[in-house]
Each structure stands twice: as C-alpha cells, then as structure tokens.
Amino acid sequence: MRFKDFERIVFFTGAGMSAESGVPTYRGAGGIWREYDYRAYACQDAFNHDPEHVWEFHNYRRGIVGACAPNRGHEIIAELEATHHVTVVTQNIDGLHQLAGSTNVIELHGSLWRLRCDHCGNRHRGRENPLEELHCTACHSYWRPDIVWFGDTLNFENIQDAQHALQECDLMISIGTSGVVYPAAALPMVAKRSGARMVEVNPELTDMSVLYDVNFRTTASEALTEMSGA
C-alpha cells in the first residue's frame, strides 16, 4: 500500500490526526468531554444564554491548540500535493492541516480560528490567542466561534464538495476518527461505492473498521511514513 500507486487521494481525518501534536481527542483516554460538560459550552443554547462563559471555554481551547504544531503526518499529507491530487476532508477545527501547508482542506466542523457574527454576517479569521475582543467590529454583537456545535447542521456546500472529491478519488484514507459523529461518519461510504481503495489508520478498532480494505493499527505519522516509502 503505497501512495505512488494512486493519483487522487482523499484524507478523511479526525481528532486522532492531531493526537501526536498534543491536541486532546474528544473520546478515548484524556478525551476533553470527560473533563467538560459539552452541553454547557458547545451548543447554540449555551451561547445564547451566556456567551462569555462559552468564550471562556473556547479561549481555553485556543490556548491549548495554539501551542501545538503540525506533526509529521500533517507534513506528509501537505507534501503529497507536489505529486498527487489531494483533498483533505477534516472533522478537526484546529487548522493544523493548513499550518502544515495543505491548500485543499474542507473543514466539515468549522474552525477554532474563524469567527462569525450571526447578527450582521461579519466574519473574521485569525489566531489571536486568547481572543480578547469578543465583540463584532461592525455591530458589537458577540462574535460566535465558526464551529459546528452540537445540534448545528453542517454547511451544505462543504458536504457537496467532500462528496465530489470522494466520488473522484482512487484512494481514500481515514485517519484518527472513531466514526461515530454523523453525518461526517457516513462520508467515506461515498468513496467505497465509487470503487476507491479504502484504508483506515487508527491504533484502535472502530465501528467503521469493517468498511476498509487495509487497516493500519498504528499512529497517523507512522502509517503515513510507511505509505510514502518506496
């Protein structure tokens, strides 16, 4: 199983992709939802009720993630753009794929580094850390993290772009996702139906493991290093 035998690759990544960078995963050992009650921090109701409380949590996450650098796995994916058509479809909100140099990234769940104002439609992108000015520069309503929270719907165009890339690819590699968050978890099926070679990278067995032709039971950086070998 080597990259050189394929042309169009889609990487479908989850929290485990960034684990070697030191970003905590949601589930599993050290998972962030074990520490925090997400209902109090990551949903629209919580934000409507107490935006500053929600921002406290997101600033805490900005602090952790902002101190993390892309790992060798992110770098290998970015470098592949020199020789392959590469699309990254990620559930991560940490921006580490882009920081490593990937240019074709679909962020299904938004980004910790993007803000939007639901009052006037203003948007902002930046890695201020922590975010101190919590108010929209145009209308002074609270900025909202441009993240898909629990109960939010996914951006339709993102889903369409992801589906298109998955239909066209000849290799689809899932990395570090437990495959339990829908509708994202259903996307790899599109590639399978279109006849792509299916690879899973995860040190643990997942609900989705049976979907795949090849399973690397190891970390993202190790599996990617192996696949880039001669």
CB atoms under 10 Å from CB of 54, counted, come to: 24
- Minimum gap (Å) between residue 120 Cβ and ligand NAD: 26
Q: What does the alpha-carbon distance between residue 92 and residue 185 come to, in Å, rounded to a whole number?
A: 13
135 binds Zn ion (CB under 5 A): no
Alpha carbon distance 224, 201 (integer Å): 9
**Closest to ligand NAD by CB, 8 or 154:** 154
Q: Is residue 219 involved in binding ligand NAD (CB under 6 A)?
A: yes
Choose, by CB under 6 A, the member of 25, 87, 102, 215 that binds ligand NAD: 25
Q: Is 174 in the site for ligand NAD (CB under 6 A)?
A: no
Does residue 42 interact with ligand NAD by CB under 6 A? no
Give yes or no for residue 119 binding Zn ion (CB under 5 A).
yes
DSSP conformation letters of 171-228 = EEEEES--S-STTGGGTHHHHHHTT-EEEEE-SS--TTGGG-SEEE-S-HHHHHHHHH
Question: Does the annotation mark 58 as catalytic?
Answer: no
Output the smallest distance, CB 135 to ligand NAD, in A.
25
Min. distance of Cβ 133 from Zn ion in angstroms? Answer: 12
As a whole number of angstroms, the distance between CA 194 and CA 137 comes to 46
66 lines the binding site for ligand NAD (CB under 6 A): no
Catalytic residues: 109
